[in-house]
Amino acid sequence: MHMLVCGGTGCRASASDAIVETLNSELAAKGMENEVQVIMTGCFGFCEKGPIVKILPDNTFYTQVTPADSAEIVAEHIVKGRKVNRLLYTDPENKEHISDSKHMGFYKKQLRIALRNCGVINPENVEEYIARDGYQAIGKVFEMGAQATIEQMKKSGLRGRGGGGFPTGLKWEIASKNHADQKYVVCNADEGDPGAFMDRSILEGDPHSVIEAMTINGFCIGATKGLVYIRAEYPLAIKRLQIAIDQAREYGLLGKDILGSGFDFDIELRYGAGAFVCGEETALIHSMEGERGEPTVKPPFPAESGYLGKPTNVNNVETFANIPVIILKGAEWFSAIGSEKSKGTKVFALAGKINNVGLIEVPMGTTLREVIYEIGGGIKNGKKFKAVQTGGPSGGCLTEKHLDTPIDYDNLLAVGSMMGSGGMIVMDEDDCMVSVAKFYLEFTVEESCGKCSPCRIGNKRLHELLERITKGEGTMEDLDRLRNLSHVIKDSSLCGLGQTSPNPVLSTLDNFYDEYVAHVTERKCPAGQCKSLMQYVIDQEACVGCTACARNCPVNAIAGDRKKPHVIDTSICIKCGACIEKCKFNAISIQ
């Protein structure tokens, strides 16, 4: 019997390490340590319900487990064979307990290819990866040959999962045809979108799949050196990836003469400082060379002149994670999944105002409605869906009219957003879309490398316009300026960061123009989120003069005699919300 405990960053933050220790000690106390194995895995994906403990072979799925629950799980489930019902997932519709994850709405429509081993194996044990067909793909590639493998990758239809969507097989072919005394394979693990954790989870849960894929890539293009550019803020991913690299070397799966093939390939880690712009491949390469992380004009592309001026192939973590399974199952199998021009599956970090926050993987062509309402379980607290931001700071906000849009590269672009690397943030009726656009502009202004004027200056001016509007100081002319300036920035910026940074502004202008108008003409925020446009008012009939609001106001903006209606001095009020929080009579409202 096996007990799998989620060991992703999120669950570790909720004491999954202590759960493992407690389970082991409880099993030892009952003399069952040799009969039951406790395994720390990668992320199960269902982050909203973590920490998770899964028991095999009966596939019982326990949610929101604490170290204190471990003794009960061992005593009841392991010893007596009885499930601990209070820890089982409860279906939100019929309130029934579901013990098997296969029957949960969160997992039903998922197809896990890139995430196939996450939550299944111990990522720090190479033998568990090998037991699930690990490193068989590289052996098959040695038999097929480099050119035949590249043809398989082209036929599969796999496109880069980092945001650009460039055909992976074609990228490999271009790099293979550029001859040099040294070539490089680079894995882009510089995941920087707000709310995104796809690549991190793959590296934490299945690092060997990336190592094997990079080795295959190296063999196909004639590279002997691999580099993983990973942000230093990912300590667990770094630790597990380094363990995996060391194990692969020990087993002869990295280094000299891999599997007796005569092919040499090794991998080393390079750390990034968390610059969002370094997700762009030329900026990433400059950063690895010790230069400023700034993009350069292409061509030449990295496949021709990349790291240290040598031909370099750059793919992101999720792209690499698909490679071994495509080799083993065939290009036809993979290309049969997804839509006409977007093959396979896509991993998304589903976050925001949604019931089932977590990491999901769905076939391309799955609709936004299926993701949000079936997998995601709908909007929290029964609120109304308002928008979903796909593609992070580079994407756009899509509305209810877009919910039946199939998710793939072309369809999302057609409706004013983009796939991006896979961030998906859901918003409800309480979100102000002008403030959302401003939030993303703040991010891109902060993360711009500053090399080109349209991005460095233009985005700053865009942010200033949005700041003015959210303070109630905007004009209708400012709305025209927003749109015009956004198009100028898109058309003239040097790299993808600048070219896509106005997307949140343009998409919210297109889909929520009435909110912008309300901010400008009525000096009002319909969602009640822009502080400068808020006004706290006490209902004179509902107020009983309990003084709770006045006693808790940090700036003494509330006055009134005891047992008589109070009044808020709006010129002093800082709109902190302390008065609303303390009022038991619902006498204070925001207007």
CA 332 to chain CA centroid, nearest Å = 28
pLDDT at 521 over 90: yes
pLDDT at 421 over 90: no
DSSP of 526-566: TTS--GGG--EEE-TTT-----HHHHH-TT--EE--TTS--
Give strand pairing partners of 398: 388
pLDDT of 188 reads 96
Say if residues 4 and 61 touch (Cβ distance below 8 Å). no
For domain 345-428, which architecture applies?
Answer: Roll (3.10)
pLDDT of 164 reads 81
Taking CA atoms, 58 is separated from 74, 99, 179, in Å, by: 15, 9, 53
| Torsion angle of the four alpha carbons 281, 287, 293, 295, in this order, in degrees rounded to the nearest 10 | -30
pLDDT at 571 over 90: no
C-alpha to C-alpha distance for 137 and 217, rounded to whole angstroms: 11
pLDDT at 443 over 80: yes
Q: Where do the structural domains in the chain lie, given as residue ranges?
A: 2-108, 126-334, 345-428, 433-522, 535-590
Whole-number percent of the chain with pLDDT over 90:
87
Return the minimum-mean-pLDDT range out of 267-271, 552-556, 586-590: 586-590
What would the mean pLDDT of 510-532 be, rounded to a whole number? 92
433-522, which class in CATH?
A: mainly alpha
pLDDT of 68 reads 94
C-alpha to C-alpha distance for 10 and 25, rounded to whole angstroms: 23
Q: Which CATH superfamily is domain 126-334 in?
A: NADH-ubiquinone oxidoreductase 51kDa subunit (3.40.50.11540)
Q: What per-residue string of b and e applies to 301-314 under the rule 16 or more CB within 10 Å gives b?
A: bbbbbbbeebbbbb
Q: pLDDT tens for residues 283-320?
A: 999 999 999 999 998 899 999 999 999 999 999 999 99
pLDDT of 358 reads 94
Task: Grade residue 224 by pLDDT with cuts at 50, 70 and 90.
Answer: very high
> Quick check: do 2-108 and 126-334 share a fold?
no
Overall pTM surpassing 0.85 (yes/no): yes
State both tokens at 557.
Answer: 């903006």
Q: At what angle do helices 433-447 and 503-511 cross, to 10 degrees?
A: 170
Contacting residues for 177 by C-beta, under 8 A, at least 6 apart: none
- Identify the DSSP state of 79: I
What one-letter code names the amino acid at 497? L
pLDDT of 296 reads 92
pLDDT of 219 reads 98
C-alpha to C-alpha distance for 73 and 76, rounded to whole angstroms: 5
Give the start-end residues of each E strand in 273-327: 312-316
pLDDT of 207 reads 98
What would the mean pLDDT of 316-326 be, rounded to a whole number? 97
Average pLDDT of the chain to the nearest whole number: 94
pLDDT at 555 over 80: yes
pLDDT at 557 over 80: yes
pLDDT of 534 reads 84
pLDDT of 549 reads 93
How would you class 179 by CB atoms within 10 Å of its CB: exposed for 0-12, middle for 13-18, buried for 19 or more?
exposed
Considering only CA atoms, which of 317, 371, 39 is closest in space to residue 196?
Answer: 317
535-590, which class in CATH?
A: alpha beta
CB 418: neighbour CB atoms within 10 A? 21
Taking CA atoms, 300 is separated from 178, 192, 297, in Å, by: 12, 25, 8
> In CATH, which of 3.60.20.30, 3.90.1010.10, 2.10.210.10, 3.40.30.10 is domain 2-108?
3.40.30.10
Give strand pairing partners of 53: 5, 62
- Secondary structure of 201-246 in HEC code, one letter for each residue: HHHHHCHHHHHHHHHHHHHHHCCCEEEEEEECCCHHHHHHHHHHHH
pLDDT at 591 over 80: no
pLDDT at 162 over 90: no
pLDDT at 463 over 90: yes
Q: pLDDT tens for residues 53-84?
A: 999 999 999 999 999 999 999 999 999 999 99
Q: pLDDT tens for residues 369-397?
A: 999 999 999 999 999 999 999 988 888 99
C-alpha to C-alpha distance for 185 and 385, rounded to whole angstroms: 42
pLDDT of 265 reads 98
Region class of 583: left (phi > 0), else alpha (psi between -120 and 50), else beta: beta
